[in-house]
Amino acid sequence: MSINILHLSDIQYGRHHVDQNSKRPSLYRDGDYASQLEKMKADLDILVSEVKPNFIVITGDIAERSQRDEYKLAEDFIVGIASYLKIDRRHVVMVPGNHDVNRKLCQSARLEAEALGRSFTTPYFQKFKCYAEFFKRFYKNVEWPEYVEPYRFVEERLFVNYYFPDDGVVFVGLNSCVDESELEPHYGNITLD
């Protein structure tokens, strides 16, 4: 069996997302991103005439500012692509990016610790609250083989291994945003801690 991956990165769903020239996204029409899915389907029609993807890998920046409404738009888009390609949600691999960190929740976690006289330590999971809700909702109704542990994005484990023994594939979703916060500078990193 061949492994074919549709890789998406930086889809950044959010109504304020602009490109480097401060223009609206090219597929933005009166706040409606539905046309983006239709454009993607047209592109996929060309792709699947050559090769059909059996995995979708999304590497970071699913949302623009990590807000619930942004994840709903992103979920509709991702589900639309998966449905169009007839790819089970279990075969959708996701890793957060720095835009999937809610900076206001970072700040509130820092202020709460200060107000309660506690020391503030990273990675403070609260910053991933909206991403974690989206992640849980996305995989909620997946039927899992008994030999595969359901995907979980939880405080105790801020990365996810995606295991496909029948296909001989493992994706390790390392989270480069563990140290990301509302403070400058913004950068990703992977550590051994």
- The 10s digit of each residue's pLDDT in 7-21 is 999 998 887 664 444
- What one-character-per-residue DSSP string does the chain give? ----EEEE----B-TT---TTSPPPTT-BTTB-HHHHHHHHHHHHHHHTT---SEEEEES--BSS--HHHHHHHHHHHHHHHHHHT--GGGEEEE--GGGS-HHHHHHHHHHHHHTTPPP-S--GGGGHHHHHHHHHHHTTPPPPTTSPPP--BTTB-SEEEEETTTTEEEEE--TTTT--SSSPP-------
Write out pLDDT tens, residues 40-63.
Answer: 898 899 888 889 999 999 998 999
Residue 179 domain-assigned?
Answer: no
In this structure, is residue 178 part of a structural domain? no
pTM of the model: 0.87
- The answer to whether residue 130 is domain-embedded is yes
| pLDDT-based confidence at residue 190 (cuts at 50, 70, 90) | confident
Residue 26 has pLDDT above 80, yes or no: no
Structural domain includes residue 44: yes
Tally the domains of the chain: 1
Give domain status of residue 98, yes or no.
Answer: yes
Mean pLDDT computed over every residue of the chain: 86
- Position 183 in a domain: no
Domain coverage including residue 20: 5-173
Answer whether residue 189 is part of any domain: no
Average pLDDT over residues 16-40: 59
Note whether residue 162 is domain-resident: yes
